[in-house]
Amino acid sequence: MPGKNEKQDLQEWIVAARKGKIAAQREIYKRFYTYGMSISIRYAENQEEAEEIVNDTYIKVFKNLNKYSLNLSFKAWFRRILINTAIDYHRKYQKYKYTLGITHAQGVSVDTNTISDLAAQEILELVQKLSPSYRMVFNLYIIEGYKHREVGEKLGITEATSRATLATARHKLQKMILDTQKFNQKKANG
């Protein structure tokens, strides 16, 4: 948690940025860029796309800075704008349409013990390999904590499609984890 001086500094930068001060905007950008990238990369296909999402987020942040209340967490406000920007980006540039129905998810099971054997970074790398539609639903539901109804509303899909897409994403992720484990075992056994 930022110290009192850091919080005061941030508030001063925000006030200055609201007045159009470029130096203050630059300071806010530098302070939250890494945080923004750490979230954006989970939704993006690659580094370049993640950077584009972060940059689009900053455009929205600075355009709407007057709507931000100084007594609220700037980081949380920034994160919400970032996630919504990632969703907008996904809608605009999605390569795959949601075509799965709830019947597709029937019979898909996920072994949670498989996932617990890997480090969080390894799992995030595998999540990046999911197609955009699967990755988006997985991130919104599992990482961000949205309910299927909310995921559906944000992405313009039904709640049932959100559930089916998540089940399939989990299944695909489990298969990738098992393949990774088999590869690592084979490599270790020489």
Going along the chain from its start, the domains and CATH numbers come out as 4-93 (1.10.1740.10), 102-189 (1.10.10.10)
% the chain with pLDDT above 70: 83
Are 163 and 148 a contacting pair, CB within 8 Å? yes
- The closest of 38, 146, 39, 161 to 96, measured between CA atoms, is 161
Long-range contacts formed by 175-181: CB under 8 A, 24+ apart: 176/126, 176/129, 177/114, 177/115, 177/117, 177/118, 177/123, 177/126, 178/114, 180/118, 180/122, 180/126, 181/114, 181/117, 181/118
> What is the model's pLDDT at position 123?
77
d(CA 83, CA 65): 17
Amino acid of residue 159: E
Banded pLDDT at 27 (limits 50, 70, 90): very high
> What is the model's pLDDT at position 3?
52
Q: 101-134 pLDDT, tens per residue?
A: 444 444 444 444 444 555 677 777 888 889 888 9
Tell me the average pLDDT across 146-155.
Answer: 93
